Amino acid sequence: MLLLVTPSPPPTTPSVLPDIDKVTSQVAVTCQNDPVCSTIAGIFNNAAWAPLAAMLVVVVLILVLAFALRNVAHRVITRVVNRAATGGSITSRFRKGAATDSIDALLHERRKQRAETMGSVLKHIASIVILGTAVLTVLDRLTIPIAPLLTSVGILGVAIGFGAQELVKDFIAGMFMLLEDQYGVGDVIDAGPAVGTVEAVTLRVTRLRDVDGRVWYVRNGTITRVGNESQGWSRAFMDVPVAYDADVVSVKVLLEHVAEEIWADPELRESKIVEPPQVFGVEQLSDSSLVFRISAKTLPSAQAEVARELRLRVKTALDTAGIPMVATA
């Protein structure tokens, strides 16, 4: 007996490719409801392939417009940055000379660095916003649902926000620090956790080097107050304690003579001091002495050197005049 076996047909696997007809119909409906796309489709005499061609043209126009807006935004930001980087002389109220010229050059360089940093940040933000909006618009035109994508991005953003709160805090603090020009590279600052010279500033951390040579990395978000000893100008002063029986007028005249000598010194006047030193007279009355004060306005970070020169010259002048200094408690 002969048995005939009919082979069974191979199992069919579901197609992973999208249904072209379904996509075409969805694009046609979207194009019909879009005045720009429908107008372009009319140019092609509403052929069967016209909605797809018109939608492709619309996508290209959206991308071209996005890149054009991005370039315009970058140009505007660059112009604003260049204008912010060039400003008037901040030391115009001081005597013009080599010292104030050095201050203006330093402040101009800091202003330029701050403006360029903020310009770079703004350019990145503009690119993300404009190109991201363009991509979402293109996906919507192609009938790709963007609601699940936006929901996923929102959930991811919330998760990242909770997990990176300190990082976000550091970046925001760094941006405001740069905008307000609280300090810059080369400044001597007291940042709370550390005191030293600023070696590097980023949006996240500030790197300091203290007098012992130790390097400190301070997160911008942890800095609650900053004492800057190097911004604009500094002040060097010296308190001079003398005995109660000393002639007040003679001591004041002597200190004024020292101030005139320092101001007449070309090396100090042209590179360290920006205004004539002042003698304030009797600053304090202690139980054992009269305290006079002499002060000089200096370039940033030059106050220590000028103060040492003040001490040396005042001590020499007092010894020459036979006026002893009194130790204070």
Per-residue confidence of the chain (329 residues) as pLDDT tens digits?
Answer: 444 545 555 554 444 344 555 656 666 666 666 676 767 666 766 666 666 677 777 788 888 999 999 999 999 988 888 887 675 544 444 445 555 555 566 666 667 777 777 787 788 888 988 988 888 888 877 777 777 777 877 777 777 777 777 888 888 888 888 777 788 777 888 888 888 888 888 888 899 998 888 999 999 888 888 888 877 788 888 888 888 888 888 889 999 999 999 888 888 887 788 888 889 888 888 777 888 999 988 887 788 888 899 999 999 999 898 888 877 65
As a whole number of angstroms, the distance between CA 303 and CA 292 comes to: 19
**Is 8 inside any structural domain?**
no
Q: What is the four-CA torsion angle of 224, 227, 230, 235, rounded to 10 degrees?
A: 160
Residues 196 and 146 in one domain: no
Residue 272 and residue 298 in contact, taking contact as beta carbons nearer than 8 Å: yes
Q: What is the extent of the structural domain holding 93?
A: 22-163
Give CA–CA dist 77/72, Å, rounded.
9
Query: Both 146 and 267 in a single domain?
Result: no
For residue 196, the domain's CATH number is 2.30.30.60
- CB of 94 closer than 8 Å to CB of 176: no
Q: Could you please report the per-residue DSSP string of 253-274?
A: HHHHHHHHHHHH-HHHHHHTBS
The model scores a pTM over 0.75: no
What tokens does 189 get? Answer: 């600052």
**Same domain for 247 and 216:** no
**Residue 197 corresponds to which tokens in the numbers above?**
């010279």
In a domain, 14, yes or no: no
> Is 10 within the bounds of a domain?
no
Q: Is residue 17 part of a domain?
A: no
**To which H or E segment does residue 238 belong?**
strand 234-242
Q: Structure tokens of 140?
A: 């919507």
With respect to residue 286, please indicate whether it lies within any of the assigned structural domains. Answer: yes
Q: Are residues 30 and 140 in the same domain?
A: yes
Statement to judge: residues 46 and 154 lie in one domain:
yes
Q: Are 183 and 193 in contact (CB under 8 A)?
A: no
Angle between helical axes of 98-141 and 147-163 (0-180°, round to 10): 140
Report the pLDDT value the prediction gives residue 26, as an integer from 0 to 100: 65
For 175-196, the pLDDT digits (tens) are 888 777 788 777 888 888 888 8
- Same domain for 213 and 285? no
CB 321 within 8 A of CB 254: yes
96 and 203 co-located in one domain: no
Residue 198 · residue 185 · CB < 8 Å: yes
Number of domains in the chain: 3
Q: Are residues 154 and 204 in the same domain?
A: no
For the chain, how are helix, strand and coil distributed in percent, rounded to 5? 55, 15, 30
Domain boundary among 182, 207, 228: 228
User: Mutual orientation of helices 50-85 and 98-141 as an angle, nearest 10°?
Assistant: 170
Torsions phi, psi of 91, nearest 5? -105, 30
